[in-house]
Amino acid sequence: MELSEQQLQCKQDAASFTDQYIVPYAGLHDREERLHPEVIDSLKSSGYLGSMIPREYGGMGLDPISVGVLNEEIGRGCSSVRSLLTVHGMVAIAIQKFGSEEMRSYWLPRLASGEITGAFGLSEPGVGSDAKSIETVAESNGEGYLLNGKKKWITMGQLADLFLIFAQVKGKPTAFLVERNNPGLKIQPINGMLGVKGSMLAELHLEQVYVESDRMVGSPGTGISMVALHCLDYGRYTVAWGCVGLGQACLEASLSYAGSRCQFGALLQENQLIQKMLTEIIVDVRAARLLCYQSGYLKEVMDPDSIMETWTAKYYAADMVNKVAHRAVQIHGAKGCSAEYPVERFYRDARVNEIIEGTTQMHEMVIASYAASTHESVQEEAVLL
């Protein structure tokens, strides 16, 4: 598969941007557990925060593959910065797809410019993969809604200005826009995570948080079945590409180290066992990238199979990057266990990617169940014929 000239230019621009503005700060993000303000400012000025937003609302209006290669390059530089693009985009596409024209006209230009940043509020202390069982509630008071509950593991929760919060309206999961300055919203930072440490996680406490009726995204009952699933599809897609970028970073670090480190009178890259590991890294990264291309292409032509292809791409890419990061650390030996070398961070970041946007086990259940149901349909059609 070949990129168009526009897509190739997007990849080259994103690569240069990453090398200049993100890579130098990646280690700092990990140590300080926050994104550096200069990096956030550079994202705003570059327009990348609006990469997924249509041009008519001030965004870049990138096609799915261009969005993918952008997330690959930024993921190569820093998984925490890529996570900002993911959750910010999830809020934007929810408003674009399910919001009113007034909502789109007001919020999307502000999200595109970076005037405000968004975060996705679905997970709770007692609810993860079983999203339909959220316990946060929204009760109508005649004019609007009062939200009560807790959200946990909210990426960029410490930073975001606008949250897409999911709550039960008379037992029907529903999505709402909640601003950071809403009275009753308390934000508690979460620190000490294993990896992607600069993603500024937070726990949100909502106590009688009032939102007007026009802050509802979609309609009552569509929160999970439509809004969340649409957002999570975008999230899985960008995480899959981010895994490819992280795998590429592991490859580049491993090639550099193996090409400069001498043992027993020869460079590591001349050792056949090291060559085997490098080969496995190269092939695995390329295979994951092709799955992401396939998913992006199907999104571009609006093929409904793109949803399952995205599940497949994220499943493989997340598994791949853990194997690749393991090999990268092994190639570095003891230095791979030291924070002086980036592969130590890559290894921890890779582990997180196998959990976010659906664990590996959830992917296995969905992919296998879909394959089984498709097979049964084919068999039934054959009998009818």
Give the pLDDT of residue 217: 96
Under 8 Å between Cβ of 157 and 204: yes
Classified as helix, coil or strand, 266 is: strand
Kindly state the average pLDDT of the residues 152-158.
Answer: 97
Band (pLDDT 50/70/90 cuts) for residue 376 is low
Catalytic residues: 357
Q: What gap in Å lies between CA 66 and CA 12, rounded to an integer? A: 11
Q: What gap in Å lies between CA 371 and CA 385, rounded to an integer? A: 21
Nearest to 177, CA basis, from 87, 102, 107, 97: 107
Q: What gap in Å lies between CA 65 and CA 215, rounded to an integer? A: 31
Give the pLDDT of residue 380: 60
Q: Is the predicted pLDDT of residue 382 greater than 70, yes or no?
A: no
What is the tens place of the pLDDT at every residue in 97-135? 999 999 999 999 999 999 999 999 999 998 877 778 899
Q: Is the predicted pLDDT of residue 378 greater than 70, yes or no?
A: no
Q: Which residue has the tokens 């929160």?
A: 223
What is the tens place of the pLDDT at every residue in 22-46? 999 999 999 999 999 999 999 999 9
DSSP E strand stretches across the chain = 118-121, 137-140, 144-154, 162-169, 172-179, 185-189, 202-212, 216-217, 262-263, 266-267
Give the pLDDT of residue 259: 94
Under 8 Å between Cβ of 187 and 173: no
What is the tens place of the pLDDT at every residue in 2-13? 899 999 999 999
Q: What gap in Å lies between CA 9 and CA 303, rounded to an integer? A: 25
